[in-house]
Amino acid sequence: MVLTKRVLRVAAAQLGPIGREESRSDVVTRLLALLDEAAQRRAELIVYPELALTTFFPRWYTEDPSGHDHYFERSMPGPETQVLFDTARGHGIGVHLGYAELTDDGHRYNSAILVDRDGHTVGRYRKVHIPGHEDDEPLRPFQHLERRYFEESNDGFPVWRAFGGLVGMAICNDRRWPETYREMGLQGVELILIGYNTPLHYAPDPAQNPLQAFHNHLCMQAGAYQNGTWVVGVAKGGTEEGVESLAQSAIIAPSGQIAAQAVTAGDELIVADCDLDWCRHYKETLFDFARYRRPEMYGRITGQKGVEEPS
Ligand code: CDT
């Protein structure tokens, strides 16, 4: 019997800023350059960030919430992105890509697609936790109007069989919530793909600004370790339209250790060989859920939304 080791070479394709007027095809050219490098480095999966095709448009208010619809995709792959998926299939590389999704019946989601090495769609994820605000807040130096332009998804956190393992997705703010990882951990996830756009300035509490990089790795490393899974966090970083965003993309092992990390705030590819069998060391010992979890003690987690202090 031949035993094949389940090692997946994953490339995290960090992006630098995308200007407001930068065209889709200009961006796709940048994505293709990173894909070429991924092919040279013999990656099997390339992971692009959240909203990887456009500038982070929720930083501007429009009176009509449809005012940014030109930044949304009506189909995925679409006319401008087909070349990316065709080229990836030619290289035998799977693709994870974040984009703004406008459905036929008019719903707007912050989404990501996962395509396998043969070009077949594995699944699509729609962001569950939508941060920021709904209305213009002119006192902020820039807006974070995700809640104006995107609906909260009710699709949850599916996990798919793909790339020889169990793969799930989350998007940006989702990574800060332990429930995100546990939902997938309870489905045996071995690889979680997460794109993000994280401004360094957090208007509601600027005391958090210098901690952005720390909090980014803190939550992803904890999510990886506590669920025995690989986590790939990929930024769109650098100064975009005057707003400085966090870079520090990282590929995190089930031990919680960082296996690879970006060192620039621009377009940069980092690669790691992700041994999916490493997950079992955690899933079958300290975090043997079936043996040690006490779900009957965790009722508040699904039964209650906000804090209810004792009387
Ligand atoms: N894109 C995204 O979800 N960004 C948020 C910014 C903080 S909330 C204004 C994040 O959690 O990184």
Nearest atom in ligand 1 to the alpha carbon of residue 175 is 11
Please identify, by atom number, the ligand 1 atom nearest to the C-alpha of residue 171.
3
185 with 37: CB under 8 angstroms?
no
Which amino acid residue places its CA nearest to atom 11 of ligand 1?
Answer: 173
The minimum-distance atom of ligand 1 relative to the CA of 172 is 3
List all residues 6 or more positions away from 241 whose beta carbon is below 8 Å from its beta carbon.
17, 19, 20, 55, 56, 59
50 is known as an active-site residue: yes
For residue 242, the model assigns a pLDDT of: 98
Which superfamily, per CATH, for 7-302?
Carbon-nitrogen hydrolase (3.60.110.10)
Q: Does 127 participate in catalysis according to the annotation?
A: yes
The rounded distance, in Å, linking the Cα atoms of 140 and 133 is: 11
Residue ranges of the domains in the chain? Answer: 7-302
Residue 245 pLDDT more than 70?
yes
pLDDT above 90 coverage of the chain, percent: 98
* 131 Cβ closer than 6 Å to some ligand 1 atom: yes
The tens digit of pLDDT for each residue in 41-97 reads: 999 999 999 999 999 999 999 999 999 999 999 999 999 999 999 999 999 999 999
Q: Which residues of 146-168 are buried (b: 16+ CB within 10 A; e: fewer)?
A: bebbbeebeeebbbbebbebbbb
What pLDDT, on a 0 to 100 scale, did the predictor assign at position 27? 98
What's the rounded Cα separation, in Å, for the pair 165 and 50?
23
Distance (angstroms) between ligand 1 centre and the Cα of 173 equals: 5
**List 44, 73, 127, 236, catalytic entry:** 127
Q: In whole angstroms, what is the distance from residue 136 CA to residue 144 CA?
A: 9
163 lines ligand 1 (CB under 6 A): no
The confidence score (pLDDT) of residue 4 equals 63
Determine whether 172 is an active site residue: yes
- The residues, any chain, with a CB within 8 Å of residue 119's CB and separated by 6 or more, are 85, 86, 88, 89
Contact 187, 244 (CB under 8 A): no
pLDDT in tens, 101-153: 999 999 999 999 999 999 999 999 999 999 999 999 999 999 999 999 999 99
Cis peptide before 310 (omega within 30 of 0): no
**CA 259–ligand 1 middle distance (angstroms):** 24
